[in-house]
Copies of this chain bind each other. A is one copy, B any other.
């Protein structure tokens, strides 16, 4: 019942081993839940306790280590043999005296793998300072090799099977955005509109059920649009205000983020309409220009030149690689569309390009999730690019 074929998983592992060899790593301790999923298929909301997948240079399959009660979840979702799934007893959980990373270190020692150069994902969300210290203590090593983002970079080119899931996420994203726009009614509480969005995200479409996106719906309005990561309140939406919508569809942990802006009333301010036109024009132009062989910074330059002609500039990056992920972020922390990014775009890479233009007291944003094809860029969702005027 795994999501991908054994062949596909084994290909991912081969490419991971090659990247490990490049960094001189013989055993990689993978704690990022998206990377654990990528390498084994394991999918569960168990990342609130330490867990790991070990990739070992001379072992065919990786080894999954998690809490005893999650071994059944691994049996349901991961492609590896049962003998490569190892559970730790519950007294390791939130204990003063022992830590799950002691168990992971003990497994490594028992197998004799502690002679290898061991790498860890130093900046992965759930690989804490204590995880690192306890692993080092058990292994008797002062330092470990840096395997940070190693698997993330292996993930950057998606397979056809992954692209298929992201296309399904795109269908869900279309429905999610339509639902959000329908629920932007002056007088309706923000929490009620967000509730409809959550409903649409999980229900998905009749063909493709939805999964939970790695980020909750962001639908700020009024002055809160200047605080991009505040969530919702009980306040009712007001007439004659703009609402920024940063949402996503998700299918089997694969995302299609989508952002749009709406105005709640028939007469949006001219400066907002003008900004919307310039931004959408730039989005269209930039998407149309993308070709394999361009770098991340090449893509950004197209946009930058366009808005410069209109008298604007934008400081932050305009996009990033994304796909498979878990809370708190759907971004992959690898390639960005920004000055200085030398990543060469190749078919199968997938990005969220998000153009948010923030003036002193208003803003407009519009985004597309797309894949790089052999000849250009193809979006995962089809949804009008414009300022939505809700009459």
Indicate whether A231 reaches chain B with its CB closer than 8 angstroms: yes
A111 to chain B, nearest CB (A): 23
- Asked if A199 and B195 make an inter-chain contact with CB atoms under 8 angstroms apart, the answer reads yes
- Asked if A47 and B328 make an inter-chain contact with CB atoms under 8 angstroms apart, the answer reads yes
Given contacts A128-B128, A227-B44, contact A90 B315 (CB under 8 A): yes
A293 to chain B, nearest CB (A): 23
> Which residues from chain B contact A231 at a C-beta distance below 8 Å?
43-45, 211-212
- Asked if B230 and A77 make an inter-chain contact with CB atoms under 8 angstroms apart, the answer reads yes
- Asked if A128 and B130 make an inter-chain contact with CB atoms under 8 angstroms apart, the answer reads no
A105 to chain B, nearest CB (A): 14
Partner of A199, one of B75, B124, B198: B198
A side interface size, CB within 8 A? 71
Indicate whether A238 reaches chain B with its CB closer than 8 angstroms: no
Indicate whether A355 reaches chain B with its CB closer than 8 angstroms: no
- Asked if B133 and A128 make an inter-chain contact with CB atoms under 8 angstroms apart, the answer reads no
A75 and B226 alpha carbons, distance in the complex (Å) = 11
> Which residues from chain B contact A72 at a C-beta distance below 8 Å?
226-227
Residues 188-232 of A at the B interface (beta carbon under 8 Å)? 189-192, 194-196, 198-204, 208-212, 215-216, 218, 224, 226-232
Indicate whether A316 reaches chain B with its CB closer than 8 angstroms: yes
Contact with B along A119-138 (1 / 0, CB 8 A): 01011111111111100000
> Which residues from chain B contact A216 at a C-beta distance below 8 Å?
45, 212
Indicate whether A234 reaches chain B with its CB closer than 8 angstroms: yes
Contact with B along A304-322 (1 / 0, CB 8 A): 0000000000011100000
A184 to chain B, nearest CB (A): 15
A233 and B211 alpha carbons, distance in the complex (Å) = 8
Residues 38-52 of A at the B interface (beta carbon under 8 Å)? 43-48
- Asked if B202 and A328 make an inter-chain contact with CB atoms under 8 angstroms apart, the answer reads no
- Asked if B129 and A227 make an inter-chain contact with CB atoms under 8 angstroms apart, the answer reads no
Residues 138-162 of A at the B interface (beta carbon under 8 Å)? 148
Indicate whether A186 reaches chain B with its CB closer than 8 angstroms: no
A233 and B253 alpha carbons, distance in the complex (Å) = 12
Given contacts A123-B129, A129-B131, A218-B45, contact A195 B200 (CB under 8 A): yes
* Chain B minimum-CB-distance residue to A332: B94
> Which residues from chain B contact A374 at a C-beta distance below 8 Å?
none
A77 and B231 alpha carbons, distance in the complex (Å) = 11
- Asked if B76 and A227 make an inter-chain contact with CB atoms under 8 angstroms apart, the answer reads yes
A48 and B331 alpha carbons, distance in the complex (Å) = 10
> Which residues from chain B contact A123 at a C-beta distance below 8 Å?
99, 128-131
Indicate whether A327 reaches chain B with its CB closer than 8 angstroms: yes
- Asked if B215 and A45 make an inter-chain contact with CB atoms under 8 angstroms apart, the answer reads yes
> Which residues from chain B contact A329 at a C-beta distance below 8 Å?
48
Indicate whether A73 reaches chain B with its CB closer than 8 angstroms: yes
A231 and B211 alpha carbons, distance in the complex (Å) = 9
Indicate whether A333 reaches chain B with its CB closer than 8 angstroms: yes
- Asked if B191 and A90 make an inter-chain contact with CB atoms under 8 angstroms apart, the answer reads no
A239 and B170 alpha carbons, distance in the complex (Å) = 32
A234 and B76 alpha carbons, distance in the complex (Å) = 15
Indicate whether A69 reaches chain B with its CB closer than 8 angstroms: yes
Partner of A202, one of B44, B198, B203, B230: B198
A209 and B228 alpha carbons, distance in the complex (Å) = 20
A367 and B312 alpha carbons, distance in the complex (Å) = 56
Indicate whether A336 reaches chain B with its CB closer than 8 angstroms: yes
Please name 8 pairs of A and B residues whose Cβ atoms are closer than 8 Å in the assembled complex, sorted by A: A90-B315, A122-B128, A124-B128, A126-B328, A127-B128, A195-B198, A198-B199, A209-B234
List the 4 closest A-B pairs by CB distance, nearest first.
Answer: A191-B209, A129-B132, A209-B234, A198-B198
